[in-house]
Amino acid sequence: ETGVTQTPRHLVMGMTNKKSLKCEQHLGHNAMYWYKQSAKKPLELMFVYSLEERVENNSVPSRFSPECPNSSHLFLHLHTLQPEDSALYLCASSQDYRGLYEQYFGPGTRLTVT
C-alpha cells in the first residue's frame, strides 16, 4: 500500500448508530487531517493532528470524535449523527504541520446518514 488509504469507502448509517472511519498514511508524515466535503460546499477542515497531538479543532460538533493513536493512523468516530452530516470525509497527511508542505489526500469515505 502506498500513499493515504481510507476505509470504508462507502458507509450508510442510521442516526443512532456508532461507526468509525479509518485513515492510514504510508508516507512517513508527521501531520494528519480530517476534512468534510458537503454537496456544493468547499472542503472544510475538521481536525489536525501533529505527531499524534490534536492541534486544531474547527468548531466541530462533539458527535465527531477523532483519534490518532500513532503518526500513521487516524480515526474519526461517529455517533448520533444527523442527516446533514452526510458528506464525503477526506483524510490527508503532510510532512509536518508547520511549514509550507502540500497535503496528500486519501480517496475519501462517502457517508450517508439515514
Residue 48 in contact with other proteins, rule: CB under 8 A: yes
From 14-22, 59-67, 74-82, 97-105, give the range in contact with other proteins by CB under 8 A.
97-105
Close Cβ partners of 103 (under 8 Å, ≥ 6 residues apart): 33, 92, 93, 94
Let me know: does 2 contact 103? Beta carbons within 8 Å: no
Which CB sits closer to other proteins, 72 or 80?
72
Amino acid at 44: E
Would strands 31-37 and 44-50 be described as parallel, antiparallel, or unpaired?
Answer: antiparallel
Take residue 86 and report the three cell numbers written for it. 452526510
Residue 34 in contact with other proteins, rule: CB under 8 A: no
From 13-21, 39-47, 59-67, 71-79, give the range in contact with other proteins by CB under 8 A.
39-47
Query: Site residues (CB under 8 A) for other proteins?
Result: 4, 6, 31, 33, 40-45, 48, 55-56, 90, 92, 94, 96-108
